[in-house]
Structure 1
Amino acid sequence: MKTRITEIFGIQYPIIQGGLAYLAYAELASAVSNAGGLGQITAATLGTPEKLREEIRKVRKLTDKPFGVNFAIARHDGNYKDLLEVAIEEKVPTISITGGNPQPVFERIKGENIKTLVLVSGVRQAQKAEELGADAIMAVGQEGGGHLGRDDIGTMVLIPRVVESVSIPVLASGGIGDGRGLLAAFALGAEGVEMGTRFIATQECVHANNVYKKALVNAKETDTVIIKKTLGTPGRVLRSEYTRDIIEREQHGATYEDLKNVVSGEANCRYIYEGNEQEGFGWAGQVAGLIKDIPTVQELFDEMVSTAEQGKQRLVNIFEAEKKFI
């Protein structure tokens, strides 16, 4: 596959692994890169410059392919500068920026040979990212897992709107987890995809507890809900008694101070690391309804490419059949 995404980032397939707080470590990132995509590690949940440097070097021991470091800058509360310096010093090929104003990051890396991806949920954010110099946009629709935009725009509408609003390449995100989604993204004008939830349910996502992975396999597309909407930071999670309680408390006027412990990173980790369903939660997109197994990353890529090829041929057959009747 050849798109501007594969050309810019030096990868075989235009498939990007999401930042995945607490889960995007060297094992997963290197597996994605080795399979032909762009794997990423997450700076936010590594915490210290020393740990980030160690993880970057671990990736390089596991792959000689391009990879990225994700900066969820809102999660850092502005304290990401030391981590960014490590990424620059280690000459990482790509930085992705999510969850905040990317301008300070662009100002610091100006002149450095680092490619940039910015996650957006709307047209104005995409246009701003292009103005700042982003190499590509990742546009996430309402179907996605984790933190989302506030406007409830689905991927089917969001992607063509962003594509027609910027000149740089766009990656589709939200509700994509197989070759059908990849082919659909191309049809909408995107030049690749970014996936988060689907990569959690892989063998190389070694930090995710099996309870979490099996829950993704068993979930239907109706088994996710949005929490934190009343706090202005909506995010999609697996439905559970724990998340139902959060929503009920929001409906009764709970403030951030009331909820901060139950929606915290620590609560997230209690579920995704320990499988503690009574005291934690797991981010997940509606694509969980399409997840039926826990393959290796290579097996997932093989399926995606094969299914996309089959879908392409189906479209060719449809259009060729139409010509016969003209």
Structure 2
Amino acid sequence: MKTRVTDIFGIEYPIVQGGLAYLAYAELAAAVSNAGGLGQITAATLGTPDKLREEIRKVRTLTNKPFGVNFAIARHDGRYKELLEVAIEEKVPAISVTGANPKPVFERLEGEDIRTLVLVAGVRQAVKAEELGADAVMAVGQEGGGHLGRDDIGTMVLIPRVVDSVSIPVLASGGIGDGRGLLAGLSLGAEGIEMGTRFIATKECVDAHEAYKKAILESKETDTVIIKRTLGAPGRVLNSDYAQTIIEKEKKGATYEDLKDYISGQSNCRYIYDGDEHEGFGWAGQVIGLIDEVPTVQELFDDMISTAKQGQKRFSQIFD
């Protein structure tokens, strides 16, 4: 496959793995890159510069292909800057930015030979990212897992709107988990895709508890809910009694201080690391309705490309 995304990032397939807080580490990132996509490690949840440096070097022992480092810059209120210095020192091939205004990151990266991606949920953010010098944007529709935009715009509408509004390449995200989604994203004008939830249910996502993966496999597309909407930071999670407790507290006017223990990273880890759905939550997109197995990343890529090619042949027959 050849798009501007494959050219810019030096990858075989225009498939980018999402940042996946607490889960996107060396084994998964390297597997995605080795399969021909762009794997990423998450900087924010590693916490310290030394741990990030160690993880970057570990990726390089597992792959000689390009990879990225994701910076969820809202998570640490400026503390990401020490981590960013490590990524620059280690000369990582790519950096993606999510969660807040990426301007300070781009100012620091000026003159560095590092490719950049910005996650957006609307046209205004995409245009701003292009103005700042982003190499590409990842536009995530409201079907996606984790933190989303506030306007509830679906992927089917969001992607062509963003494509029509910027000149840099767009990657489609939100509700994509197989070759049909890849082909659909390309049909909407995107030049690649980003997937998060689908990569959790792979063998190389070694930190995800089996109970978390099992829930993703057994749940339907209707089994997710949005939390933190009243805080202005909506995010999609697996539905559970714990998630419903958060939603009920929000309905009753709970403040951030009231909710912070329920929505903390520690609460997230209690589920995704320990499998305790009664004391924590797990991010997940509506794409869970399409996931019914836990393959290796290579097997996932092989199936996606095969399915996309079959879809391409079907299109050719329809339009012949």
Q: Please state which band the TM-score falls in when normalised by the shorter chain.
A: over 0.9
Please name the residue that 1:262 is paired with: 262
1:118 aligns with 2:118: yes
Q: Deviations over 1:168-209 (max 9, x none)?
A: 000000000000000000110000000000000000000000
How many pairs are equivalent? 320
Please name the residue that 2:234 is paired with: 234
Give me the whole-angstrom Cα distance separating, in 1, the residues matched to 2:49 and 2:233: 27
Please name the residue that 1:275 is paired with: 275
Q: Deviations over 1:37-83 (max 9, x none)?
A: 00000000000000000000000000000000000000111111110
Please name the residue that 2:106 is paired with: 106
Give me the whole-angstrom Cα distance separating, in 2, the residues matched to 1:257 and 1:312: 51
1:156 aligns with 2:162: no
Please name the residue that 1:145 is paired with: 145
Please name the residue that 1:129 is paired with: 129
Please name the residue that 1:315 is paired with: 315
- Pairwise mapping of residues 66-85 of structure 1 onto structure 2 (< 5 A)? 66-85=66-85
Give me the whole-angstrom Cα distance separating, in 1, the residues matched to 2:250 and 2:88: 41
Please name the residue that 1:203 is paired with: 203
Displacement after TM superposition at 1:86 (Å) = 0.4
- Pairwise mapping of residues 233-252 of structure 1 onto structure 2 (< 5 A)? 233-252=233-252
Give me the whole-angstrom Cα distance separating, in 2, the residues matched to 1:76 and 1:69: 16
Give me the whole-angstrom Cα distance separating, in 1, the residues matched to 2:169 and 2:185: 12
Please name the residue that 1:168 is paired with: 168
1:39 aligns with 2:39: yes
1:218 aligns with 2:218: yes
Please name the residue that 1:56 is paired with: 56
TM-score normalised by structure 1 residue count:
0.98
CA RMSD of aligned residues (A): 0.4
4+ runs deviating over 6 angstroms: none
Give me the whole-angstrom Cα distance separating, in 2, the residues matched to 1:86 and 1:42: 13
Please name the residue that 1:323 is paired with: none
Displacement after TM superposition at 1:14 (Å) = 0.1
Question: What secondary structure is seen at the aligned counterpart in 2 of 1:172?
Answer: strand
Give me the whole-angstrom Cα distance separating, in 2, the residues matched to 1:76 and 1:36: 31
Give me the whole-angstrom Cα distance separating, in 2, the residues matched to 1:10 and 1:189: 20
Give me the whole-angstrom Cα distance separating, in 2, the residues matched to 1:319 and 1:122: 32
Give me the whole-angstrom Cα distance separating, in 1, the residues matched to 2:61 and 2:76: 27
Give me the whole-angstrom Cα distance separating, in 2, the residues matched to 1:8 and 1:260: 39
Gapped regions of structure 1 (runs ≥ 5): 321-326
Give me the whole-angstrom Cα distance separating, in 1, the residues matched to 2:14 and 2:158: 19
Please name the residue that 1:190 is paired with: 190
Q: Deviations over 1:62-112 (max 9, x none)?
A: 000000000000011111111001000000000000001100000001000
